[in-house]
Each structure stands twice: as structure tokens, then as C-alpha cells.
Amino acid sequence: MDNLDMKILNRLLNNCRESDRQIGIEIGISGGAVKKRIQKMEEKKVIDKFFIKVEPPVLGNGILYFVVSGENIDEILEQISLVGEPYFVAPCIGGITVCSIVIKDNPDQKIELAKKLMKDVKVLSIFEAESPGYDSDFTKTDFEILEELIKDPRQKIEKIAKNTDMSTKTITRCIEKLQKNDGVQFTLVYDPKRIDEFIPHAILAWIEGDLKETLDKMNEMFSDSYLQIPFLAKNQIVLLMYSENIFKMDELTQKVRTIKNVKSAELFIPKKISFYLKWLEKDINDSKNSPKLHLAYQTN
């Protein structure tokens, strides 16, 4: 892995449907060279799979994040499943696992329930993710196309049209709509352990004050180190970054702590990243079977 590989990975993480040619133009190499580098990352399992990430609030759900002590994924999944559907699990260096679940309603009640039921793992922190008010107006056609895109987000429009028996114009219009939705991301899942020469990491910052002002300042200071676009979770900002060594990671973390409105910041180094789609597949199936043509979900 070199800097060009990381730049390609960055662009694919933020939009895996971006063409090899366009990525090449942006980073200064040919589309063919980009394609070869992507293939190499797939062969080396740096890229685990291409993935369409749908934020649960887009479909009217809530989401709770947990920071727990321990790395036994099966045990953690069993415990968090007592409260909601698993969404994301990432065991980190230091014996800590960050994970999240999809819930339908009553987040405060679910947090209390989790505290009572999750006795086999030590819960260090639970917090609710805030919905920034995603666009949530979907048609049944959107859900049919989304169901196809889950199989392979990089599919050619012609192939999707053939598989869904829809026109290429309809497919194009739907994908454009999805790409404009901040709650839907065409991305990928990568294996942090297979990224040689660089260390992917996340800095979780707790904010007291203007969230947007703080995020703008972070973007100004750290965008060159971003592996992915930062995301917000209520009064937290999660920075997804990469560094050449542990000293650079520490330096970035310390700089985050000095920014106005940052109450505290913690560093997490993931060893594995997993997303779960059972909740999404169920929601898509329920939506397709709804008698309504348009489905608008309530978001905050």
C-alpha cells in the first residue's frame, strides 16, 4: 500500500460508484492504473467487499452505539441482539469493541433495557445517534433497485435494468436520488490489518457547543488525513482517519483535543469492521409489501 492506494481507497469509501477514470483524473494517474490497483487490493483482501451503507434513520429507525469491554464478537452480538438488530461491530486494539444496533422506538427505554440485560459484557458507554433529518421519501421502485444494489453497489446500470426488468432511465434516476441522500452511502468494507504502511483509526470527539462550527474547523485542519467523511452521532463527531505511525496518530488526537468546543476525544484502532444487513433486508421487504406507493419515514 502506498499513498496512491490510500487515495483510491478514500474515494471508493466515499463513493464506490465513482469510475476508475474519474478517480484517475482526481489523483493524477490513468483509469487503467486505478483499475489494476483496485484489483490488487481485492486480491490482497484489503477490500473485503463493496457495500451500500444505509443509515437506519433513513427508514425511520433509531440507532444506539455501544462501547464495550471485550472482543468476543459472537458473545457481543448475542448480547446486543437482546435489545435491537446488529448494525455495526468493530473490535479495537486494547480490548474494546465499538458496536451499534438498530431500534424502532423509545431510545431511552432501550438504553435502560440494555443496561439491565447485557450482563455478560461490560458496557463502558451507550449513546443514541442523532438523525440529521435525512430525506426519507422512497417509492417501491426505489426499494426494488436498492435491493439489487445491495448485491453489488458497483453494478453497471444496464445489468441492474436487466435484473429488475426496468429501464436504464429509471435506474439512473434512482441511483442519482440515492447518491444525493446523505443517509445512503456507496462505499466498501476494508480489512484494517491488511493495510500495510498505514494505520486506519478513528477519533471520537465529544462536543459541547456548535457541532457544525467544530466540524468545519476539523475539516480545515485534518482533511488530508481523512480515510472517510466524518459522521455525527448526537453530540459526537467521529473522525475516520489514517496515519503513517502511532506518533502521528497521537499527534492528531492531541490536536483534536485542542479545538474549540471539544470536551474530550478518544482514539480507537479497529482490528476488524463488520456491517450487518438483516435489519435492512427486512425493512426493504416490508416496504415493498406495503400498499402505499410512496413511503415517507419520520426523521428528527
**CATH number where 126 lies:** 3.30.70.260
Contacts of 208 (CB under 8 A, 6+ apart): 235, 261, 263
Same domain membership, residue 148 and residue 39: no
Q: What is residue 70's predicted lDDT score, i.e. its pLDDT?
A: 86
Query: What is the torsion angle, in degrees rounded to the nearest 10, for the CA atoms of residue 250, residue 212, residue 10 and residue 24?
Result: -130
Same domain membership, residue 171 and residue 24: no
Q: What is residue 32's predicted lDDT score, i.e. its pLDDT?
A: 97
Same domain membership, residue 143 and residue 286: yes
Q: What is residue 26's predicted lDDT score, i.e. its pLDDT?
A: 95
Q: Which tens digit of pLDDT belongs to each residue from 97-145?
A: 999 999 988 888 999 998 888 887 888 888 887 666 666 788 889 999 9
Identity at 71, one-letter amino acid code: E
**Could you tell me the pTM of the whole model?**
0.87
How far apart (Å, rounded) are the C-alpha atoms in residues 7 and 12? 9
Q: What is residue 287's predicted lDDT score, i.e. its pLDDT?
A: 83
Domain count, the chain: 3
Same domain membership, residue 166 and residue 68: yes
Cβ proximity of 168 and 161 under 8 Å: yes
Q: What is the CATH number of the domain that holds 34?
A: 1.10.10.10
Residues of the chain with pLDDT under 50: 300
Provide the 8-state DSSP code for 293.
S
Same domain membership, residue 282 and residue 164: yes
Q: What is residue 2's predicted lDDT score, i.e. its pLDDT?
A: 93
Beta strand segments in the chain, E? 47-54, 62-69, 85-92, 96-103, 122-128, 137-139, 184-190, 199-207, 231-233, 236-243, 262-268, 274-275, 294-296
Beta bridge partners, 236, equal 206, 233
For all residues of the chain together, what is the average pLDDT?
91
Q: What is residue 289's predicted lDDT score, i.e. its pLDDT?
A: 79
Same domain membership, residue 216 and residue 184: no
* Helix orientation angle between 278-288 and 140-151, rounded to the nearest 10 degrees: 150
Same domain membership, residue 262 and residue 155: no
Same domain membership, residue 122 and residue 69: yes
Beta bridge partners, 242, equal 200
**Which residue segment(s) compose the domain that 294 sits in?**
53-191+272-300
Same domain membership, residue 297 and residue 156: yes
Give the length of the chain.
Answer: 300
Same domain membership, residue 90 and residue 113: yes
Q: What is residue 294's predicted lDDT score, i.e. its pLDDT?
A: 54
Same domain membership, residue 261 and residue 150: no
Same domain membership, residue 138 and residue 18: no
Beta bridge partners, 69, equal 96, 122
Q: What is the CA radius of gyration of the chain?
A: 20
* C-alpha distances in Å from residue 11, one per residue of 1, 61, 191, 213, 221: 15, 28, 16, 25, 19
Closest CA to 129 of 154, 99, 171: 99
